[in-house]
Structures are given as structure tokens and as C-alpha cells.
Amino acid sequence: MSTNTNQIILNIRFKIKPGKKESFRDSLFSMINNFRNEPTFVNAIVSDDLDNPNDLVIYEIWQGTRENWIQEELPKPYRSEYEGALSSLIEDRIISWLEPVGEWGSKLTSTTR
């Protein structure tokens, strides 16, 4: 049972084409710089996968619901530009929509335990 309906987390794993990691990272960081000032944005963490050198993972926390995010954030012009560049940079993208139910060590989510 969920204890939090006010935040949504996107956990996205990118499988990057060989030799394209730096170009992809530049494109991703540019997009993050665009959305970091959105009113519903909370936090983003970008990580390299130590066991899979062509994989990169982003973990984003947003205020609202998945439906709100899809309606309000997905149509932003900077996202369509970013999406257009992805086919030349990545082989696959795996998106997980998460809802926080517990947090320890920080106060990034509004979840209490």
C-alpha cells in the first residue's frame, strides 16, 4: 500500500551506443539544466553503472503524479529536441515509474516513516 501520492520518481536506465557516452551525457545534462528550474522538480541523480560501462541511470524526483508529469512535463519543447537526438545515441531505454514509500538519510521525498 502506498503512503505517498504527492511525488513520483522516474528511474531510467539508458543503454548507450558504443562510443556515444560523452555525447549522450552532454545531451542529458543539457536537458537537466532545462528542467531543473521547473516548479515541480525536486532532484535528479545521474550515475554510471560500474558493471555495464555503456549504461547510465538517472533517478528523478518530481512533485505530483505520473499523469501530471506526462501532461505537464513531457510536452515541453526542450524534451522533444532531446527525444529527437536519442535514436543516434542510445540502443535502449528502460523507464520505471516509482512512488516513494519510505526514506532514510535525507529529506528529498515527502515520505515519513
Higher pLDDT, 81 or 41: 41
Q: How does pLDDT run across 21-76, given as a tens digit for each residue?
A: 999 999 999 999 999 999 999 999 999 999 999 999 999 999 999 999 999 999 99
Say how far apart CA 36 and CA 45 lie, in whole Å: 12
Can you list the domains of the chain with their CATH numbers? 7-98 (3.30.70.100)
pTM: 0.88
Helix (H, G, I), strand (E, B) or coil at 76: coil
Q: Residue 3: is its pLDDT beyond 80?
A: no
